[in-house]
Amino acid sequence: MGSNDSDPVIGISCYMQQAQWGVWDTEAALIPGDYVRMVAASGAIPVLLPPHGQAPAALDRVDGLLLAGGADVGSSEYGQDPHETTVSHPFRDSSEMMLLAAARRRRLPVLGICRGMQVINVAAGGTLIQHLPESLGHSDYQPAPGVYGEVTVTTEAGSRAREILGEATTAPCYHHQGIDRLGAGLRATGRSPEGLVETIEPDPAVDQTGDPADGGWLFAVQWHPEHDPDDDRVVRALVQAARRHATDRGTRRAPK
């Protein structure tokens, strides 16, 4: 899909780790192509934001932020010792916490996907269940390495989740951690059949240094919408919010 100068720019957080392609085996900044394709297909320009050399000013040049999936959030970020299955990248934690805070100060629309939802919750003072199979007795949310599970999500009436997804939706998931205690100013608006939090958004009823809505559009899901090319509702909602934000602040340029 082509783009033009009026399309909003979406910054996507990404990995920086060892990777292989062609004859190369070296450290790389990368993200699964599904993220890039869905952002572009939804009418925006995707730009990767690697966890190295970043500063808050990077967000002055984008219209929205997508916190992507990846390794576990470090348990030290929410005051716990790591579970034996927890695998974290502290440099990425630091980078994404910085990007999230900077985005909220700028009222940039923010979408969290899988790990991204957990980053948003932890940044707000929430905690995580470090290994769901121990607490739930099954591994349905991450059946095997590289194998997606499937989750049915029921949304709360009157929420952003209901507006975007309808009353219920089924989606691909891949995670072994989940939200335990919600962070301040957030509410759970979508859950799995066994009650696991699947979507979060700002809680307008809770004061968090003023109205939490002051931080701008925020939505997060525990599953991987980018993995289903036939269901772009979540990513398209971010792009639409970014387009509105760009128009409001006068950064959209007329097509040449």
44-98: per-residue pLDDT in tens? 999 999 998 888 999 999 999 999 999 999 999 999 999 999 999 999 999 999 9
pLDDT of residue 250: 73
For residue 25, the cross-strand partners are: 20
The verdict on residue 3 lying in a domain is no
pLDDT for res 252: 52
Catalytic residue, chosen from 175, 198, 226, 245, is 226
Strands 149-155 and 186-191: antiparallel
Q: What is the pLDDT of residues 165-177, one digit of tens each?
A: 999 999 999 999 9
Instruction: pLDDT band for 6, please (50, 70, 90 cuts).
Output: confident
Q: Can you tell me the distance from the alpha carbon of 235 to that of 140, in angstroms, rounded to the nearest whole number?
A: 24
Per-residue pLDDT, 230 = 92
Determine if the pTM surpasses 0.85: yes
**Strand boundaries in 56-195, DSSP class E:** 64-67, 110-113, 128-129, 149-155, 168-173, 178-179, 186-191
Is the model's pLDDT at 140 over the cut of 80?
yes
Predicted local confidence at residue 54, as pLDDT: 83
Segment among 4-18, 102-116, 166-180, 204-218 with least mean pLDDT:
204-218
Residue 254 within a domain: no
Number of domains the chain contains: 1
What integer pLDDT is reported at residue 251 of this predicted model? 54
Query: Amino acid identity of 73?
Result: V
Whether 1 is in a domain gets the answer: no
In this prediction, residue 5 has a pLDDT band, given cuts at 50, 70 and 90, of: low
Residues 6+ apart with CB under 8 A from 252: 6, 8, 243, 246
Instruction: Kindly state the percentage of the chain with pLDDT values over 90.
Output: 88
Contact 129, 180 (CB under 8 A): yes
- Summarised one tens digit per residue, pLDDT across range 208-226 is 444 445 689 999 999 999 9
- Provide the pLDDT for residue 255: 40
Q: What is the pLDDT of residue 204?
A: 83
Residue 112: name the closest of 217, 227, 222 by CA. 222
Lowest mean pLDDT among 58-62, 140-144, 148-152, 247-251: 247-251
The overall average pLDDT reported for the chain is 92
Identified catalytic residue from 77, 114, 175, 176? 114
Tens of pLDDT, residues 36-56: 999 999 999 999 999 988 889
**Which residues fall within 8 angstroms of residue 247, CB to CB, at 6 or more apart?**
none
Give the HSE-up count for residue 4: Cα atoms under 13 Å, Cβ half-sphere. Answer: 6
Q: Which of 175, 176, 224, 245 is catalytic?
A: 224
Under the banding of pLDDT at 50, 70 and 90, the label for residue 147 is: very high
Specify whether 226 is catalytic.
yes
Domain range for 139 is 9-249
Nearest to 115 by CA among 224, 215, 193: 224
Here the CATH number for the domain that contains residue 106 is: 3.40.50.880
Residue 54 tokens, joined? 């970043």
**Measured CA angle at 228 (ends 226, 229), to 5 deg:** 85
4 within a domain of the structure (yes/no): no
- Dihedral sign (CA 82, 83, 84, 87): negative
Residues forming beta bridges with residue 187, ordered by sequence position: 201
